[in-house]
Amino acid sequence: MTSLKIGINGAGIGGLAAAIALRKLGMDVTVYEQAPRFARVGAAPTST
């Protein structure tokens, strides 16, 4: 597969999961995050 340069906006769980998956496929991925620092938001993982 051709290596693409990919930009992902947002280092949330979705952006980071996509970045990991795309890097495993050999893509050149850069994640851009607007927040000045990382911080915990929720309390615990849940599923319904």
Ligand X SMILES: Cc1cc2nc3c(=O)[nH]c(=O)nc-3n(C[C@H](O)[C@H](O)[C@H](O)COP(=O)(O)OP(=O)(O)OC[C@H]3O[C@@H](n4cnc5c(N)ncnc54)[C@H](O)[C@@H]3O)c2cc1C
What residues line the site for ligand X (CB under 6 A)? 9-15, 32-35, 41-46
> Measured between alpha carbons, how far is 7 from 25 in angstroms, rounded to an integer?
15
End-to-end CA gap in the chain: 37
Would you say 3 or 30 has its CB closer to ligand X? 30
CB-count burial class (<10 Å; 0-12, 13-18, 19+) for 12: middle
Would you say 22 or 33 has its CB closer to ligand X? 33
Q: How far is the CB of 27 from ligand X (least distance, A)?
A: 18
Q: How far is the CB of 31 from ligand X (least distance, A)?
A: 9
